[in-house]
Amino acid sequence: MLGFTASRLLTAHGEIEHGVLLVDDRRVVRVGARSDFGLSVDSEIRDFGDTLIAPGYFDLHIHGSGGFDVMDEDQEALPSIERFLASRGVTSYCPTTVTATSDKILRALERLADAIEDGERNDESPLGRATPLGIHLEGPFLSHAKRGVHPVEHLLPPRTETFESFWQASRGHIRIVTIAPELHGAEELIAIAAKRGVCVSLGHSDADFATAQRAVTAGARHATHTFNAMRPLDHRNPGIAGAVLTDSRLSADIIADGIHLDPAVVKLFANAKGPENTVLITDATAAAGMADGSYHLGAINVEVKNGACTSQGKLAGSVLTMDRAVQNLARFADWSLPNAVAAATRNAARVVGFENKGVLAAGADADFLVLDNAGNVRHTFIGGIECQI
C-alpha cells in the first residue's frame, strides 16, 4: 500500500487540508486528513508539500495531439497521443471521430474499440499513457448550416440503421454522440441512443429554442462546445444556445482557450451552468503540442498559427491542453482552482457514466495529479503509478 500527502487534497465533497491518499492495487483505499490516519510522514508516505492532489483529468472531446489523429491507421498514433495527454494531466479520454466516409468511420470505430478492450483486458494499462474509455462520435449527424469544417459531402441524416452500423463497429463502446436536433429523424435517434446509455450531446446545430427543448425531452442531456458551431444567442430568439444556458437538465462543455470564446462569454457560461454542469474539453487536433504548421483533423487539412487551428479560414479544433483549459476557466470565470478542476474531472466523468473516474474516493481508480498553486501539473499518476512526464 502506498500513501501520498500534500497541503490540500481535492475530493468529491471538497478540500481536505493536509490530506492523505492511500492506494493499493491501482485503486484508492482511503482518503482523509493526515490527523485521522495516525500516520507520520515516512518512507511509505510520499509528501508533495505545498501542492494540491486532484483527480486526473478526463477529456470527452479530443481528436489528437503530437502530430497524430485518433482516426489514423498508424499503430503509433494512439500510444503517442496518450503519452502526450498524460504529460498534460489527462488520465482518461474519449477519442473523438470526425465526419468522413462511412467506411473510414467504421474502420476507426473498430480500431478504437480494440484499444478500449485491450485496456479492459489488461490488469495494468500501458505505463505513462492516458486510458481510452469510450468513443465520442462527432458527426456525421450534423447540420449543414453549422457543420464547421466537417465535410459537407459526408454528412448524413440521423437514421437508426446508420447509427446501428456504427454501434456494431464500435462493439458498444460509443459513449457520446453529437447530433443536430433539428435534422429529420433526430428525435427518434436521440431516444434510441439514450436508451442504450449513450450520452446524446446537442451540437453543430442551427436549432431553435423549442427544437432543442424537444430534444432534451427525447433524451439529450449534454451540449457540444457551446456557442461554437451553434446558432447564436439572440435576445428575442434564444435558439439552442438559450436552451443550453437555461435548462438544468443539460450539462455542457466549452473550449476555454481564449480563441473559441471570449473570456467574458466563458464567465457567462460558467455562471449559467454552475460548478456542477460546466465541463471542459479541448477539441484538440493532431497539432496540439506541435509548432505552427500544417496538420490534419481526420482527412481535413488544418493550419496552426499563433495558437489558432483553422481550415479554409474556419476554426478547426484547437491546440488547447487540459491543464491550460483548467487554468483559463479559473481565470476567466473568477472560479477557484478546485471548481475549475471539477469541470475537467468529476463533471466530465459523470457525463459518460464513469463513477470510478474523476473523483478521489475509496474504490475509485487511483488516477490523480499533483498541481502547484497556479494549477500547473507537476506529477501524473495512473493506477497509482507515476507517469514520466
Active site residues: 283
What's the grid cell of residue 280?
A: 471542459
Are 9 and 360 spatial neighbours (Cβ–Cβ below 8 Å)?
Answer: yes
Cα–Cα dist 130/323, whole Å: 14
**CA gap 119, 112 in Å, rounded:** 11
Instruction: Tell me the pairing of strands 64-65 and 45-47.
Output: unpaired
Alpha helices (H) along 176-250:
186-195, 209-218, 239-246
Q: What angle do CA 18, 24, 29 make, to 5 degrees?
A: 55
Bridge partners (DSSP) listed for residue 65: 68
- Kindly state the DSSP code that residue 202 receives in the 8-state scheme: E
Contact 383, 365 (CB under 8 A): yes
Q: CB atoms < 10 A from the CB of 358, how many?
A: 28
CA–CA separation, 30 vs 375, rounded Å? 24
Among 96, 90, 79, which Cα is nearest to 323's?
Answer: 90
Estimate the crossing angle of helix 263-277 against helix 239-246, to 10 degrees: 40
102-121 helix and 160-170 helix, angle to the nearest 10 degrees? 40
Tell me, what DSSP letter sits at residue 154?
A: G
Whether omega for the bond prior to residue 140 falls within 30 degrees of 0, making it cis, is yes
Instruction: Give 23's strand partners.
Output: 2, 28
Q: Please, how many CA atoms are within 13 Å of residue 261, restricted to the half-sphere of its CB?
A: 29
State phi, psi for 297 to the nearest 5 degrees.
-125, 100
Label the pairing between strands 174-179 and 135-138.
parallel
